[in-house]
Amino acid sequence: MVKASLLVALLLFLAAPAVAGSSAKTVSNIRYGPQQDHVLDLCVPLLPDAPKPAVLLIHGGGWAHGDKATMHGWCALFAQNGIVAAAVGYRLAAPEDMSRHWPAQLDDVTLAFQWMQNHAPEFGADSRRICSYGESAGGHLSVWLAIKENNLACAIDGFGPVDLPLLAQKSKRSLDALLGQQHSPDAERSAAPIFSLSPQTAPILIIQGTQDDLVPPEQSVKLYEAAMQKRVNAKLITYPGRHSWEGLRAEIKANIVTEMVQFIKNARPR
pLDDT in tens, 34-80: 999 999 999 999 887 789 999 999 999 999 999 999 999 999 999 99
Encode 201-223: b = buried (16+ Cβ within 10 Å), e = exposed.
bbbbbbbbbeebebbbbebbeeb
Taking the model in full, what pTM does it have? Answer: 0.92
Confidence (pLDDT) at 18:
42
Distance CA 175, CA 107 (A): 17
The CB density around residue 21, as the number of other CB atoms within 10 Å, is 5
SS (H, E, C) 232-257: CCEEEEEECCCHHHCCCCHHHHHHHH
Neighbouring-strand partners of residue 251: none
Q: What structural domains and CATH numbers belong to the chain?
A: 2-7+21-266 (3.40.50.1820)
Name the band, by pLDDT with cuts 50, 70 and 90, for residue 170. Answer: confident
What is the pLDDT averaged over residues 185-191?
A: 95
Distance CA 207, CA 156 (A): 8
